[in-house]
Amino acid sequence: MITLRSSDGETFDLDEVVAVELQTIKNMMEDGCAESVIPVPNVEGKILAKVIEYCKKHVKSTAKAEEHALSDADLKAWDSDFIKLDQATLFDLIMAANYLDIKSLLDLLCQTVANMIKGKSPEEIRQIFNIKNDFTPEEEQEIRRENQWAFQ
Amino acid sequence: MRTKRHCRYPPPPSDQTPRRIGEDRISALPDALLIHILSYLPGIDAVKTGVLSKRWSRLWTWTPNLVFDQLGEWDEKSNNFVPFIDAFLVLHSSPKIQKLAIDMDYKKRLHLDNSMDEWLRFASGRAAEELNLQLSELGYVHSWDFRGNVERYLLPSFIYSNNSMKRLDMSFIDVQPSDAVSWPILQSLSIRSSLLTESTIQKILLGSPHLKILELNNCEGFDLLRIDSKSLKRLVIHGIWHPSGGIDDVLQISAPYILSLEISGHFYKRRVQLLDVSSLVDVVINLQVWVEDRRCVLVKYSNILREILRKIRHVEKLNVGACSMKANSDIGNSCAPDVLEEKKKCKILSMMKEIFWAFLVSGRKNLILNVEPTRRNISDIACFLQTSPKLESLQINLASFHGTSRKVVGPQKTSSSCLQLQFDPESYATLESYWTPKNRFSKHMLAQLRTVEIVGFNKTHDSNGIVIALVRSLLKHAKVLEKVAICAPEIEYDSDNTLVARKFLTFRRASRKALVQFS
């Protein structure tokens, strides 16, 4: 049993089989520097909770887990529900998945963000993500001209 | 002058710190993560992020995946697709890329070929691990558009020597290596719509010592596919290219080390014959039949299918596609009905079936049948079970052939009046005849069957009665049955479900552990 402690003091108990999904934690366990409670200073409690929720669902099937293992289709359906998040949580999760090195979660989240960008114009993308256009009007004109081939 | 930004998404819950409202969270991510996000975008979308803000202006040039799909945002008349790719590659910054994927219509022209050579040179130079070149013949939509030997893009010779490629996917490209092929780390190769000679295939296999998966879709030019490679684990042959070929046209496959084989698609008049496939563990068969002259083709088809089944008796896991099942059942109806009397016809039918299934007893443990049980094919299903005495798991995917929707029509409440819970007695009787003691195979039939899964069950569909008859019959005879799972994805949970579930509970079962589960 591994215990993780979030930046705001919440603790989470994990079975080892779930804990190894978080590559960072797994490395610590293998290097022998995993103490009884592992602090995760960059990640808030409510985000860490979501990360653990994901890892529990995606734990690689061992002999015991296979009985409860979801089919690929069920897992995909669960994933598409999981990613219905507000932007703040989405980006917090991306940072957490990156820090804790959970490849499948990071890929899922990045694909989700990519889907929000796909097919949109730059103006729409700026609006969705609140990206400030910091080009001066002259700079913007130059960029547009340079990239004319990209916009038809 | 800066305009006020509106908050475009619903206000966050009150426990969130106010500074998060209207914040640009995405630009705060480190470069590596932004590039990772961009790697999921096709080229046309990635490049647009360059004008978002200064932060974003050069990020897209580092994307590891270069994906260009002509069907995406270019209409047919536009000739901007090729210059777009040229410009994109010129501005690209990263010394290493993961993937180059191009999907476009192709018609042989010198300047197009030159551009494509340059793109491939770029990919090689940047150590691309994955190359995906999907060309389609301009104007080719259906197989009857085939106009004879059309000129394809010729894969340039420098490509045959590549140390970074792990995955290569090509469509409508001439593969003609003049010298030896060297793809030392290639793991997966897929070739579609090409003419490949036996010598080309041998060169490729020799030059790819770590090749694990080989897929040949609609390819021609070889009569014997001999794979001596010990690394190759999976072989997929999907159809041949064109309905030509004579009566003696045979494709022979010899692959003593492969574990997984898939034979599917249209083979027209070509026969498929397996030689040595002794290591096979799982097989998918989904051969389609050319219905020009139904009668003689179907009989010939049944011989082909039978020979394949005979060669794969040792295979643990078999998946039989809808087309193969259907054609096999249609065999019986290939006798000219206007010539023979009913009785004779029935006798010939059952003889043909017996001949077909004789000596096909197998060692298979997993069987997947993609079929909609009908009175016509219920005996085939029984024969499959009969020739699988070691079967442990059975899965039936209820395929819908004729495009009829399997959705429940009308509001859920009234459908209970047309709920089909009765099993079909005729099918039940047919099945029971296979399990009678005097049937010489019946002793071992279903003796090891543990799980049954029925996928796509719909309570108001016509074939239900037969599916229910099948389940009832299996419950009655399978002595070590543990679970019957019925997946009915379109049924919402309501009282009808308990009615159906209760119906199954009334069936007699041979195994005390047997559990019927609905999902």
| pLDDT tens per residue, range B249-301 | 789 999 999 999 999 988 877 888 999 999 999 999 988 766 555 556 667 77
User: What pLDDT, on a 0 to 100 scale, did the predictor assign at position B14?
Assistant: 40
Judging contacts by C-beta atoms under 8 Å, the chain A residues touching residue B41 are: 114, 117-118
Q: Which range has the top average pLDDT, B62-76, B141-155, B430-444?
A: B62-76
C-alpha angle with apex B414: B410 to B418, nearest 5 degrees? 95
Query: In this structure, what is the dihedral angle of CA atoms B428, B430, B432, B437, given to the nearest 10 degrees?
Result: 170
| Comparison of pLDDT for A123 and B498, the residue scoring more | A123
Average pLDDT over residues B144-159: 76
Contact B470, B427 (CB under 8 A): yes
Report CB contact under 8 Å: A91, B78: no
Helix (H, G, I), strand (E, B) or coil at A138: helix
Is the CB of residue A133 less than 8 Å away from at least one CB of chain B?
Answer: yes
Q: Which residue of A has its CA nearest to B91?
A: A147
pLDDT at B412: 35
C-alpha triplet A2, A3, A4: angle, nearest 5° = 120
Tell me how close the Cα of A129 comes to any Cα of chain B, in angstroms: 6
Q: What is the pLDDT of residue A90?
A: 94
Would the CA dihedral through B168, B172, B173, B174 be positive or negative?
positive
- As a whole number, mean pLDDT of residues A31-38 equals 77
Question: Helix B294-311 and helix B342-357: axis angle, to 10°?
Answer: 30
Closest-CA residue of A relative to B79 is A152
The set of long-range contacts for A19-26, using a CB threshold of 8 Å and a minimum separation of 24, is A21/A55, A21/A58, A21/A59, A21/A60, A21/A102, A22/A51, A22/A55, A22/A100, A22/A101, A22/A102, A23/A100, A23/A101, A23/A102, A23/A103, A24/A99, A24/A100, A24/A101, A25/A100
State yes or no: pLDDT of B305 exceeds 50.
Answer: yes
Helix (H) or strand (E) holding B191: strand B188-192
Considering only the C-alpha atoms of chain A, give the largest distance between any 2 of them, rounded to a whole number of Å: 64
Chain A residues with CB under 8 Å of B40 CB are 110-111, 114-115
Question: Residue B465 above 90 pLDDT?
Answer: no
**Most confident segment among A135-139, B8-12, B58-62, B437-441:** B58-62
Question: Does any CB of chain B come closer than 8 Å to the CB of residue A129?
Answer: yes
Q: What does pLDDT average to over chain A? A: 86
**Per-residue model confidence (pLDDT) at position B455:** 85
Chain B CB within 8 Å of residue A127 CB? yes
Fill in the amino acid letter for A82.
F
B363, amino acid identity = G
Residue B467 is predicted with a pLDDT of 85
Q: What are phi and psi of B146, to 5 degrees?
A: -55, 130
Which chain A residue has its CA at the smallest distance from B24's CA? A130
Show contacts of B170-176: CB within 8 Å, 24+ apart.
B170/B131, B170/B132, B170/B133, B170/B134, B170/B194, B171/B133, B171/B134, B171/B135, B171/B136, B171/B217, B172/B106, B172/B134, B172/B135, B172/B136, B172/B137, B173/B133, B173/B135, B175/B200, B175/B204, B176/B200
DSSP character at residue B161 = B
Query: Looking at A88-102, A117-131, B158-172, B339-353, which range is the least confident one?
Result: B339-353
With cut-offs at 50, 70 and 90, classify the pLDDT of residue B15: very low
Facing residue for A147 by CB, picked from B51, B74, B80:
B51
Sheet with B224-226, side-by-side order of all strands: B224-226, B250-254, B271-274
ipTM: 0.92
* pLDDT over 60 (residue B48): yes
Write down the pLDDT at residue B1.
40
Q: Could you say which DSSP state residue A148 is in?
A: G
Across the range B380-389, mean pLDDT stands at 88
Amino acid symbol at B486: I
Determine the pLDDT at residue B462: 66
Entry pTM: 0.84
The owner of tokens 């694990």 is B212
More confident residue, A74 or B95: B95
Instruction: Give the CA radius of gyration of chain A.
Output: 20
- Reported as type and span, the H/E element at residue A4 is strand A2-5
Helix (H, G, I), strand (E, B) or coil at B44: helix
Interface test with B, best of A110, A141, A142 (most B CBs within 10 A): A110
Indicate the range of A67-71, B171-175, B410-414 predicted with least confidence. B410-414
So what's the pLDDT on residue B429? 85
A127: closest chain B residue by CA: B8
Residues across chain B: 519
Please tell me if residue A131 touches chain B, with a CB cutoff of 8 Å: yes
Ranking B17-21, B110-114, B117-121, B396-400 by mean pLDDT, the lowest is B17-21
Name the phi and psi angles at A18, rounded to 5: -80, -40
Residue B166 has pLDDT above 80, yes or no: yes
What residues of chain A lie within 8 A of the CB of B50, using their CB? 143, 147, 150
Taking the CA of residue A57 and the nearest CA in chain B, the distance in Å comes to 19
Q: At what angle do helices B464-477 and B495-505 cross, to 10 degrees?
A: 40
**Distances, alpha carbon A44 to alpha carbons A39, A88, A108, B392, B416, in Å:** 11, 12, 20, 48, 50
Residues of A in contact with B12 (CB under 8 A): 86, 88
Which residues of A are less than 8 Å from B56 in CB distance?
131
Residue of B nearest to A121 (CA): B48
**pLDDT at residue B82 greater than cutoff 50:** yes
Contacts of A119 in chain B (CB under 8 A): 45
Give pLDDT, residue B64: 96
Please tell me the distance from the alpha carbon of residue B364 to that of residue B82, in angstroms, as a whole number. Answer: 51
Alpha carbon of B34: minimum distance to chain A alpha carbons (Å): 9
> What local confidence, expressed as pLDDT, does residue B296 receive?
62
Q: How many alpha carbons lie under 13 Å from residue A142 in its C-beta half-sphere?
A: 8
Question: In a 3-state reduction of DSSP, which class is residue B412?
Answer: coil
- Can you give the pLDDT at residue B56? 92
d(CA B287, CA B94): 45
Q: Which residue has the higher pLDDT, B3 or B156?
A: B156
Q: What pLDDT sits at residue B324?
A: 76
C-beta atoms surrounding A52 within 10 Å? 19
Stretch among A113-117, B176-180, B485-489 having the lowest mean pLDDT: B485-489
CB contact under 8 Å between A150 and B20, yes or no, is no
Are the beta carbons of B67 and B101 closer than 8 angstroms?
A: yes
Residue A92 pLDDT level (bands cut at 50, 70, 90) = very high
Is the pLDDT score of B316 beyond 90?
A: yes
The string of pLDDT tens digits covering residues B89-131 is 999 999 999 999 999 988 888 899 999 999 999 999 999 999 9
- Please judge whether A117 and B45 are an interchain contact, meaning their C-beta atoms are less than 8 angstroms apart: yes
Q: How far apart are CA A85 and CA B188, in angstroms?
A: 36
Could you give the CA distance from residue B271 to residue B260 in angstroms, rounded to a whole number? 20
Verify whether the Cβ–Cβ distance B52 to A126 is below 8 Å.
yes
Residue A97 pLDDT greater than 60, yes or no = yes
Candidate from A42-51, B118-127, B168-177, B239-248 with smallest mean pLDDT: B239-248
Cα–Cα distances (Å) from A111 to A39, A130, B69, in that order, read 29, 19, 18
Q: How confident is the model at residue B41 (pLDDT cuts 50, 70, 90)?
A: very high
Interface test with B, best of A42, A71, A83, A91 (most B CBs within 10 A): A91
| 8 Å CB contact of B5 and A130 | yes
CA gap A113, A107 in Å, rounded: 10
- HSE, CB side, 13 Å, CA atoms: give it for residue B153: 27
Interface contact flag, B53 A121, Cβ < 8 Å: no
Are B25 and A152 within 8 A, CB to CB? no
Mean pLDDT of B165-193: 95
The pLDDT assigned to B410 comes to 34
Rounded to an integer, what distance in angstroms lies between the CA atom of residue B261 and that of residue B235? 5
pLDDT at B491: 56
Distances (CA, A) of B57 to A124, A129, B53, B92: 16, 16, 6, 12
Contact of B330 with B298, CB cutoff 8 Å: yes
User: Does the beta-carbon distance from B29 to A91 stay under 8 Å?
Assistant: yes
The residue that leads in pLDDT, A95 or B342, is A95
pLDDT of residue A40: 87
Closest CA to B368 of B431, B413, B315: B315
The partner residue sitting opposite B48, judged by closest CB among A88, A114, A122, is A122
**Chain B neighbors of A95, CB-CB under 8 A:** 29
Residue B270 tokens, joined: 């070509």
Provide the pLDDT confidence category of residue B512 given band limits of 50, 70 and 90. confident
pLDDT higher than threshold 80 for residue B495: no
* Pairs of residues, one from chain A and one from chain B, whose beta carbons lie less than 8 Å apart: 108
Give residue-wise pLDDT tens across range B194-246.
Answer: 889 999 999 999 999 999 999 999 998 889 999 999 999 999 999 887 656 55
pLDDT of B47 higher than 50: yes
CA distance B389 to B265: 29
Let me know: does B432 contact B438? Beta carbons within 8 Å. Answer: no
- Strands A11-14 vs A2-5: parallel, antiparallel or unpaired: antiparallel
Q: How many CB atoms lie within 10 A of CB B498?
A: 12
A85–chain B nearest CA distance, Å:
11
SS3 sequence of B348-386: HHHHHHHHHHCCCCCCCCEEEEECCCCCCCHHHHHHHHH
Spatial separation of the C-alpha atoms in residues B5 and B48, rounded to whole Å:
21
Helix (H) or strand (E) holding B502: helix B495-505
When CB atoms are compared, the residue of A111, A127, A134 closest to B53 is A134
Taking CB atoms and an 8 Å cutoff, what residues of chain B touch A150?
44, 47-48, 50, 84, 87-88
Contact B312, B277 (CB under 8 A): yes
DSSP string, B53-94: -GGGTTGGGG-SEEEEEHHHH--TT---HHHHHHHHHHH---
Beta carbons of A147 and B25 less than 8 Å apart: no
Q: Which residue has the tokens 């080390």?
A: B257
Nearest CA in chain A to B57: A143
pLDDT band (50, 70, 90) for residue B158 = very high
Q: What is the mean pLDDT of chain B?
A: 81
Per-window interface: A 25-84 vs B, CB < 8 A: none
Backbone torsion region of residue B288, taken as left when φ is above 0, otherwise alpha when ψ lies between -120 and 50, otherwise beta: beta
Residue in B48, B68, B69, B98 to test binding to A, most A beta-carbons within 10 Å: B48
